[in-house]
Amino acid sequence: PKLYVQVNTGSEPQKAGIEPREAVPFVTRCREVHGLAIEGLMCIPPADENPGPHFALLEKLSAEAGVEELSMGMSGDYETAIAFGATSV
C-alpha cells in the first residue's frame, strides 16, 4: 500500500495529523526504525484560511523528508494545490 503521513498544517485540535515540526523526524523514524515505505504527505488546510501557505509548507516538508507524493486540496482549492505540487487531490 501507499503510505502517507497526515500533517496538521493549521494545528487544529479537531483534526488528526502530526505537527509540521514533527513531520520530517516522524517520516525518518517510520522508515529507519519500522521499515515503512512512506511515499507521501497529506494535509487539509483550515477552511477559513488561504490554503496556499499550507500547501507551500507541505511541499517544503516533503522535499525535506524525501517523499514524492503530496495529497492536498479539495474541490474548492484543487487548482492552488496543483500549483504547489499536489500529486493527488
- With respect to residue 88, please indicate whether it lies within any of the assigned structural domains: no
pTM: 0.94
Q: What confidence score (pLDDT) does residue 73 get?
A: 93
In a domain, 79, yes or no: yes
Q: What is the pLDDT of residues 26-53, one digit of tens each?
A: 999 999 999 999 999 999 999 999 999 9
Alpha carbons 44 and 9: distance in angstroms, whole number:
8
How confident is residue 1, by pLDDT bands cut at 50, 70 and 90? Answer: confident
Hey, what's the cell of 67?
517523499
35 occurs within a structural domain: yes
Domain count, the chain: 1
| 11 has a pLDDT exceeding 90 | yes
Does the residue 16 lie in any domain?
yes
Distance from C-alpha of 88 to C-alpha of 67, rounded to nearest angstrom: 13
For residue 4, the model assigns a pLDDT of: 98
89 inside domain = no
Domain-embedded: residue 31: yes
Whole-number average pLDDT of the chain = 97
